[in-house]
Amino acid sequence: MKKIPMPRLLLACTLVVLASAGCATRTQTDATANVAVSKEAVDNAAGADGLQFAPVEMAAAREKLTLANKAMADRDYKGATELATQAQADAKLAQSKAKSAKAQAVADALQDDIRVLREELDRANAVK
């Protein structure tokens, strides 16, 4: 078996350690960014009346965001990223449901207005 000179072995070990540290830092940075984006998504959904129109989805989003923050504190960056992604999806669903419910309410109001106008037209035509 051929002996590897000590400086080369030391250099190889150093490179492996530095590469591993670089990957860990990127993972932490990615997880931090994902959690921040998810928090913004949850805040946006709450601002779009997600609590009123999609309380179940909002509760799920907030719970997953809380768990993602806990995973970050525990240095479980992969878990934090997964939970943050799920929280973001739940928040977007809540926001979409809220927008849909608001649009439906507007459509219902317009239908009521149309019905009232038709009744008034029918009365006006009946008087003639």
Residue whose token pair is 């008087």 = 127
Does any domain span residue 121? no
Q: Is the pLDDT of residue 4 over 90?
A: no
* Domain count of the fold of the chain: 1
Does any domain span residue 31? yes
Does any domain span residue 79? yes
Does any domain span residue 71? yes
Does any domain span residue 12? no
Q: pLDDT tens across 61-112, in order? A: 999 999 999 999 999 999 999 999 999 999 999 999 999 999 999 999 999 9
Does any domain span residue 108? no
pLDDT band (50, 70, 90) for residue 26:
confident
What are the percentages of helix, strand and coil residues in the chain, rounded to 5?
A: 90, 0, 10
Query: What is the pLDDT, as a whole number, of residue 71?
Result: 96
The answer to whether the beta carbons of residues 91 and 61 sit under 8 Å apart is yes
Q: ∠81-86-92 over CA atoms, to 5°?
A: 125
Query: What is the pLDDT, as a whole number, of residue 127?
Result: 77
Q: What is the rounded radius of gyration, in angstroms, for the C-alpha atoms of the chain?
A: 28
Decide: pTM greater than 0.75: no
Share of the chain above pLDDT 70, in %: 80
Does any domain span residue 7? no
Q: pLDDT tens across 29-38, in order? A: 899 999 999 9
Does any domain span residue 120? no
Domain that holds residue 28: 18-98
Mean pLDDT to the nearest integer, 51-57: 95
The answer to whether the beta carbons of residues 30 and 79 sit under 8 Å apart is no
